[in-house]
Each structure stands twice: as structure tokens, then as C-alpha cells.
Amino acid sequence: MDNADLSQGQSVEEPSKIEPMSSRARMALARIEDWAISVSLGLMMALPLLEIVLRRFNTGISGSAELLQHLVLFVAMLGGAIAARENRLLSLSTFTAFLKGSWAAVASGVSASFALFVTVVIGIGCFKFISTEGIGDSAVFWGISGWAVMAIMPVGFALLAIRIVWFSASSWKGRWVPLAASAALIVFATYPFDEVESFVWPLLILLILATVAGSPLYVAIGGAALIMNWGWSGYFPEERVSITIETQAQTLYGFISNPLLVTLPLFTLAGYFLAQGHSSKRLIRLIQSIFGGVRGGAVIVTVLVCAFFTTFTGASGVTILALGGLLMPVLQSAGYNERSSIGMLTGAGSLGVLFPPCLPLILYAVVATNTKLVSLSLKDVFLGGAIPGALLVVMTIIWGVWKQPQASVDQTPIDWTEVGKAFVGALGELFLPIVALFALFSGFATPIEAASVSAFYAFTVYLVDAKRVRRVSVRAELPTMMAECGLLVGGVLLILGVAMGLTDYLIFAMIPDRMVEWAQASIESKYLFLLALNGALILVGCLMDIFSAIIVIVPLIVPLGVVFGIDPVHLGIIFLANLQLGYLTPPIGMNLFLASYRFGKPMSVVIKASLPLLLVFIIGVILITYIPFLTTWLPGLLQK
């Protein structure tokens, strides 16, 4: 995502004001990191393809599954370090963007102090975890010891810590503040107090202040997990710290090395290949050549292109930032005023979340299955989201058609020559979803192999575009683009890994069981439960990014869904549709901040512009919630 993305960590000082580090060493390290993550993503794409070919000869690559899992771990940690290097770690706070002078310096010191504390503690936990007998010294694949491949965990957190300190201030005088404050917090946390429960809330309040001041999202979630596990789990003083930090590290490793998570970076890579290859321009040309001469044609173009790109990138923020500048003129040339155009783009950016193979669908299937209460296949979740996703797309288009001023409608006959040229130009992009879904649903490939096929196909489209259309150097462009992809994937996976520590604590504290007991005693109707769930999830969508929300909230609501007899696929689509709605909900919906930045408009203007589409989405979410047939029909049909 763009560095100016307001959903991400903001440096109080612009990078240009930061004094240069020892230039050559820093640039050399950056090049090594970019190439390392590019090669890792390339291997992740190539290994499943080789498995497909070798399976024809009744053979395969020994240890490839384990290698793929640890490549995900490598990409997660190195991608997080690259995000820190670029000062682009994901954050919830936008507060620091409005601070100046000494207030900005104070906010930077507070956020960096807690960020450094949490990062160092988790890094030490990772080192202790991989040093444990039977873990680091055992072979993982090809005779390579666990220590050799897991060392990226403490190394990654060390790089994060160094870069957090570096960006905390413009001089070493200011950087000593987080160093001293984090050291004091570590000394406090490791002191063998007999009783620490009374310290938990003060520390959580400090964490909240640091989050508001701009601490990265992984710090907010990981810090909460560490504090609650340290203070409320009842460990003996002499084992309190070691168990807390090693548990966090073990959970991080266990989740990120989940086999199905390999699909997440691969589908994201496919989306980046498309974006780099200017696929959006070709798709806009094709759809506009077909629908440009009909009423609402510009909205059809906008909605379909946004849905397509969000489906393959998994992040509505990328869609708004990348396509906003391209699609705004399309809407305004069709007669939509600036306010309506901003509202349409703000809402349309999240429309692809329910379409396969969007990343939130994959992640929901992984996390829900990990609860051991339900068993979900990717196919069922993908099929379950298709009709609800189409419903929201159609409703958005209907609103856009109705909103277009009558006087601006210039209906012209279709130029079939232009359609033919645009179709040929966009043929590569049009086949991508067909290739992805065929590989997944035909039985030809496993989910990981289907993701690999999709990424390789998108890579082929990118190569053709780079060599024949744009005529650019692939060697010069590709590592930068893949490093950008690794940055996004790593930042997300880092958040997911530490979020599992919070989830594990909530399960250890029996929070889901207590919620089930309360719901059974207080809510008699299934439909009343769904209404309460909708309200709670919209609030979650405002406050949390979709990926961390899945990790933390899904294990809490799946037991409730089982108790009230809600199909787990239906529950997942309800969950994701509500989070999608939360992106638009004032005053802190994430898409509102992104659109405010992208179009240079005050939040008040963006909120007013988005209200009509917010109402459209609310109606759609109600239909998805209370008509389960929309979600369950396709999975049920293909199971017969």
C-alpha cells in the first residue's frame, strides 16, 4: 500500500528529514532484502507448479510442503522488516497526521517506546523458543535444522526494533527516549512480583495511548496478548516471563507455518502482477467500450474494475489508492458530480471481498477450522461468497444508474470494432479468474497449487505487457514490485501471527465459553442473535483491519454460531459482509480515511458522499444475514 495510506503507521517526521544512515551499507542491505523476498516469492510460486508436473510421473519433491510453510515464515518476517524500513507498518491511528512540533515528538516517543518494548520482548521469546531442545536442533526438511530456518524470527524482530528506533526521531538525542523507556518496561516486566494482576489495566491503558500515538497494529495486538497473558494467567513469578514470551513465539510460528496460508501471498502476488502490468487500464477500456454508451455505464465500469482488483489484492485500500485517480475522471465525464464520484469509489473499493479467491475468505476458512468446532473447505467458502458478492455489486450498480443525472446520459451505439480491440487487449486479464477457479474446482490442483497456477498465469500476463506493450526492463522492475508485494504480505502476516497469541489467551481464559453461556441465557431467538452480531461486527469493522479481526473475532463467534445452528459458511459471509460495511461506517471507517487522503477532501465531505452507498450496503448485509439461501445454495448444489 501507499506510504500515505492513513490506515498505516505514520512517521511523525517525513523520511526526508531523517538523517541518512551509513548510506552504502543501508542501500546494500535494502537490495539484499528486496532480492531475498523476491526469490522467496518466486520459489513459492514455482514449487507447487513443479509438483503438478512431477505428479504426472508419479513422483514429487521431498519436503516441499515444509519448505513452502517456512518460506511463508521467511516472507512474513522479512516483509515486516521491509515495511519497517520503509516506515509503512500498518497502524490504526490517524491521530499523528494532525500533530506538529513538540506534540508530534511526544507522540513519536510514546509510540516508539511501547513498539520497541513489544518487539524486543517477542524477539527474545522467538530466540528462546527456537533454542528449546527438540525444536531448533531437529531437522525440518532436507536435513536442515530448525534453527537454520527459524532464525529469521529473532532476526526479523531485531531488524524491526532497529528501524523503530531509527524512525522514532531525527537525531540520537530523541532516539534515546524509546531506548530508555523500553528498557525500563522490560526491567519492570521481568521483576519477580508476587502479584501482578493490578498492573494489567495500567499497562493496557499505556498500550492504548501508544496505539493512538501511532504504534503499529502488530504492537497493539501483540502487546495486549503479552500483558494479559503475563498478568492474568496465574503463572508463578519465576516462570511468568518465560512462559509468556515463549508462548507468544510458539503461537506465531505455529500459525504462520499453517500450510493453507501459502495461498495468501500467492494470490496477492497475482494481484500485484496485474496492477504492475496496467491491467486496470485494459479492463476499463473493455468495460467502457461495452457499457460506456448506456445509462450508468461509468458506474458499471467502476464497480466491476474495483471488484476485480479487490478480489485479487484482498485489500480495499489498495484499490482506492491505485484506481481512484483512474476512475474519478470516468465517473465525472459521465455527469456524476464530485461528491457522488467520491462516494462511489469509497464504497466500491471493498466490493470484491466476498468473491473467490479473495484473501479474507481463505483466512476465515483457516481460522474457523482451527477452532475444531467446524470443518470448512476453501471450495465451500468460495462458493458461499459468490452470490452475496454479486448481490452487493448489482445493488451498487442499480444505485449508480439511478443517481446519474438524466441530462448527462448520452446513449450511443456500441462500437464493435473498439469492443473487439479492447477484448483482445484484455484477454489475459479476463482468463485469470477462469484459470484460478478451474484449477481449484476441477480437482486438477490443490488449493496451494491453484494459487500457484494463478500467480504464474498473472506473471505471464505481466511479462507480455512489460516486453510487448510498455517495453520496460523486467529485471529492473520485477524485484521492486515483488518486494512491494512482500511488504504488504509480510505486514499482514506479522499482524496475524501476533494476533493468534491474543486469540489463544482468550481461549485459555474461556472467553468463548462464557460468551456462549451468556448468549444462551440472554438471547432466545436466532434472529435476535444475528441482529446483535451485525451491530457488533460493524463496530469491529470500524476499529480493526479485516485480517486481524478475522484472527481475533472468528474464534469467539464460531462457538456462538454452532449453538444457534448457523451454517459456518453463512456465518463467515455474514462476518465478512459486516466488516466490509464497517469500512464505510462513520466516523472511523477505514475507507473513509483512505478516500479522504486519496481525493484530498475533508473527512466530513467523504462521509456525506458515502452515506447513500452505506445505506445500500446495509440493505445488502440485511438480505445476506436473513436469507441464508443466498450463501448456502451454491455449496449445497455442488455437494449433490
What does 220-289 look like in DSSP terms, one character per residue? HHHHHHHHHHHHHS---HHHHHHHHHHHHHHHHHHHHT-GGGGHHHHHHHHHHHHHHTTHHHHHHHHHHH
Please give the C-alpha separations between residue 131 and each of 49, 81, 235, in angstroms, as whole numbers: 34, 22, 22
Q: How far apart are CA 436 and CA 447, in angstroms?
A: 10
User: Residues 196, 284: one domain?
Assistant: no
Cβ atoms of 411 and 373 within 8 Å: the answer is: no
Between the two ends of the chain, the Cα-to-Cα distance in Å is: 42
Q: What is the grid cell recorded at 469?
A: 506493450
Beta bridge partners of 144: 141
User: Residues 238, 299: one domain?
Assistant: no
Reported as a single tens digit per residue, the pLDDT across 84-130 is 998 888 776 666 666 777 888 888 899 999 999 999 999 999 999 98
Please give the C-alpha separations between residue 66 and each of 149, 259, 359, 366, 432, in angstroms, as whole numbers: 11, 8, 22, 18, 28
User: Residues 235, 350: one domain?
Assistant: no
Which residue, chain included where needed, has cell 465451500? Answer: 380
Domain total for the chain?
2
Cβ atoms of 596 and 349 within 8 Å: the answer is: no
Q: Does 2 fall in a domain?
A: no
Q: Does 6 fall in a domain?
A: no
At which of 222, 257, 292 does a domain end? Answer: 257
Reported as a single tens digit per residue, the pLDDT across 512-555 is 888 888 888 888 888 899 998 888 888 887 777 777 788 888 98
Q: How far apart are CA 98 and CA 117, in angstroms?
A: 25
Span 235-264, average pLDDT? 84
Reported as a single tens digit per residue, the pLDDT across 382-402 is 999 999 999 999 999 998 888
Range in 259-263, 339-343, 378-382, 512-516 the model is least confident about:
259-263
Helix (H) or strand (E) segment spanning residue 535: helix 526-543
User: Residues 327, 237: one domain?
Assistant: no
User: Residues 396, 513: one domain?
Assistant: yes
Reported as a single tens digit per residue, the pLDDT across 487-507 is 888 888 888 888 888 888 888
At which of 215, 232, 257 does a domain end? Answer: 257
Buried b (16+ CB within 10 A) or exposed e, 602-639: ebebbbebbebbbebbbebbeebbeebebbbebbeeee
Cβ atoms of 351 and 306 within 8 Å: the answer is: yes
Q: How far apart are CA 48 and CA 267, in angstroms?
A: 13
Q: What does pTM read for this prediction?
A: 0.80
Q: How far apart are CA 26 and CA 82, in angstroms?
A: 12
User: Residues 205, 274: one domain?
Assistant: no
Q: What angle do CA 17, 493, 227 make, to 5 degrees?
A: 85
User: Residues 96, 219: one domain?
Assistant: yes
User: Residues 466, 318: one domain?
Assistant: yes
Q: How far apart are CA 543 and CA 284, in angstroms?
A: 33
Q: Does 200 fall in a domain?
A: yes
DSSP conformational letter for 90: B
Helix (H) or strand (E) segment spanning residue 145: strand 144-145
> How confident is the model at residue 321, as a pLDDT?
67
User: Residues 213, 316: one domain?
Assistant: no
Residue 631 lies in domain: 261-639
Q: Does 9 fall in a domain?
A: no
Reported as a single tens digit per residue, the pLDDT across 310-320 is 887 665 566 77
User: Residues 276, 215: one domain?
Assistant: no
Q: What is the dihedral of CA 551, 552, 555, 556, to 10 degrees?
A: -160
At which of 203, 232, 257 does a domain end? Answer: 257
Reported as a single tens digit per residue, the pLDDT across 148-176 is 888 999 999 999 999 999 999 888 888 99
> How confident is the model at residue 474, as a pLDDT?
84
User: Residues 130, 171: one domain?
Assistant: yes
> How confident is the model at residue 159, as a pLDDT?
95
* Long-range Cβ contacts of 624-628 (<8 Å, 24+ apart): 624/388, 624/391, 624/573, 624/574, 624/577, 625/530, 625/534, 625/574, 625/577, 626/527, 626/530, 628/566, 628/567, 628/570
